[in-house]
Copies of this chain bind each other. A is one copy, B any other.
Amino acid sequence: MNFPGFAQLLTDAQVQRVHEASLEILQEVGLEVQNAKARALFKQHGCGVVDDSRRVTIPPRVIEQLLKSVPPRFTFHARNPEFDRTIPDESPLVMTASSAPNIIDPVTKEQRPANSEDLARVARLIDQLPGIDLFSVPVLAADAPAGQYSLTRFYTAMKYCRKPIRGSGDPGGDSESILQLAYAIAGSEAAYKAHPFITHHHCPIIAPLKLDENSTEMMIFYTEQGLPNHPTIVPNAGLTSPMTLAGTLAQGNAEFLACAALMQMVRPGTPTIYSTLSTVADMRSGAYASGGIECGMLNMAHAQMARFYCVPCSGYVGLTNSKVVDAQAGYEKAMSCMGGLLAGMHVLQFAGLIEALLTFDFGMAVVDNEISLMLKRVARGMEFSEANLALAEIKAVGPSGMFVDTELTLERMKTTAFLPDIADRESRENWSKRGGMETADKALLKARKILESDCPSLFSPEVETRIRQRFQGMVAGEFKLSENWKAGGATPTNNAVQSAILKNHEGVAA
C-alpha cells in the first residue's frame, strides 16, 4: 500500500488508552477458559487460575512479554508458491468470506443449502478472479458424509482453486484428518510442513471473554504443529459487548490479546493475525448487522490497534445484509471496505457473501472481484513522480490543447485508470440496445462464462488415489456446469431471462 497517511479514528493517546483498558480487563475480569490445556498454559505462564470457576486472570506483564514474540509478518501459502501471499508486504489482499451454509442457485435464483458440487464451481470461479487473493472456503457442503464435514470442504476447494486456502476444522475434532488430507496432497508430512498450504482459522472466543473448548483446542493443536493458523474476534455490541464503539473495541482488543498470548505460550514466535469481525447489533430486531457502517468503523479502529502492536491485521469488512446483489449490497460493502483499506487493513474478507454471511452468490463474487480491483487501484496511490507531474507535456499542449494523443496518454491509457469489466460506462442508448442489463445479471453472466471453460482437477491421479484410499466415501466433488445452467434455466421465466442475457452478451462481446 502506498498511502502517506492512513485514516485514523483514534488519536495516539486513545490507542494507548485502549491498550491499557484491555490489560485492565484481562487482569481484573480475565477470561472464562473452558479448555483445560489452555488453563494449564496460562497457569504455567504466571496467570491467576481458579480451576473451579475456570476463571483465568492475566497480569499485564505476561501480555506485554508475550506480544514481543509475535512476528510482524504472516504468509498465506498455496500449493504453488507463485500464489503465496505475505502481509503486510503484499497488502491489501482480498479474501472470500466464510462459511455460509447456503448458496443462491444461479439458475432458479433461489436460496438452497450448498453442496460439494456447488463448492467445486465456487472454487473454480475464485481461482479465475484476479482480484481475489485468498480462498477462505465460503460455503459448507450439505452432502458431506458423516465425519467428513470439514474434509469435504478442504478436498473440493483445493481440487479446483490454486490460491491459498483458509478454513476451519469441524468443532468436535477432525483437525487430524485435515492434516492427513494435506499430507496426501503434498506427498508426505515433511513435504507439507515445508510449505503448509492450508491456513487454519477459528473463533475460539465466545464474547464476552470466554475461551471455548474445541476451537481453542484446534488453535493449540495447529500452533503446536507449527502450522499457520489464526483466530478471529467477534464481539457484537449490545449483545456480547458494550453498546459503544470504544467499549467494544477495548473488549475485542482484550480478546485478541488473550488469544495471541496463548499462541505464544504454546510456541513462541508463532505468526498470527489480528483478525476481527466486530459489529453493533440492530436493537430494533436483534439483527446481526454486519452490513452496518459501524462494522467498518470498528474494523478500522482494530487496524489501528494492530499497527500499534506491529501485528498483521485482517477483518471481515465489506459485508452486506442484503439478500440480493442490489444497490444495498453495493453501498454497504463498498463503504466499509474502502474505510478498511484507507485505515490500513492488510486483508479484507468479504468476497462472494451476502445476507450477513449466510449465503454465497456467484454474481456477488464477480462484483466483489471488481470492487477488489478498485481497492487495489486505490492502494497503488497517486504514482507520484516528476515524470507523472507531466509539466513538459502540459507546457507543450498549452491552453485549449488536447491530450488525447500525447506520448503519456498513449503510454498510460491502459494503466492509469482501472478499466472495469462489470461497471457499465456505455451511453444509455447503447446499454439499452444491449439489453439494459443490471449489474446482478451482468455479473452472473460473467460467472457463467468463466465456468463454461474446461476445468480439470488440480490433483494428479496419484494424489486422487491416495486421498480416496485414505478417506472412504469421500464425495466425488467433480466440477461441472450445472445441468440447469447449461440448459439455460429450469423454468420458462428463467429460459427467457437467460436467452436475453446471452443475447446481450453477444453485443457486449462484439
Per the bound structure, the CA–CA distance linking A316 and B436 in Å amounts to 26
Q: Residue A188 at the B interface, CB < 8 A? A: no
Per the bound structure, the CA–CA distance linking A409 and B163 in Å amounts to 42
Q: Is the CB of A322 within 8 A of B243?
A: no
Q: Which of A243, A281, A419 has the most CB of B within 10 A?
A: A243
Q: Is the CB of A30 within 8 A of B321?
A: no
Instruction: State which of B209, B403, B417 has its C-beta within 8 Å of the C-beta of A242.
Output: B403
Per the bound structure, the CA–CA distance linking A401 and B25 in Å amounts to 14
Residues of B within 8 A of A297 (CB): 377-378, 382
| Contact bitstring A375-399, B, C-beta under 8 A = 1, else 0 | 1011001111100111101110111
Taking the closest CB of chain B, its distance from the CB of A332, in whole angstroms, is 6
Q: Which of A28, A399, A406, A412 has the most CB of B within 10 A?
A: A399
Chain A contact residues: over half helix, strand or loop, or mixed? mixed
Residues of B within 8 A of A296 (CB): 378
Q: Is the CB of A332 within 8 A of B423?
A: yes
Per the bound structure, the CA–CA distance linking A333 and B375 in Å amounts to 14
Instruction: State which of B12, B245, B358, B408 has its C-beta within 8 Å of the C-beta of A247.
Output: B408
| Chain B minimum-CB-distance residue to A322 | B424
Per the bound structure, the CA–CA distance linking A361 and B383 in Å amounts to 36
Q: Residue A3 at the B interface, CB < 8 A? A: yes
Residues of B within 8 A of A395 (CB): 25, 28-29
Q: Is the CB of A6 within 8 A of B4?
A: no
Please give the residue numbers on chain A whose beta carbons come within 8 Å of chain B beta carbons, in ascending order.
3-12, 14, 17-18, 21, 24-25, 28-32, 55, 111, 206, 208-210, 237-247, 249-251, 280-285, 287, 289, 291-294, 296-297, 301, 321-335, 337-339, 342-343, 355-356, 358-359, 367, 370-371, 374-375, 377-378, 381-385, 388-391, 393-395, 397-404, 406, 408-409, 411-414, 416-420, 422-426, 428, 431-432, 436, 438-440, 443
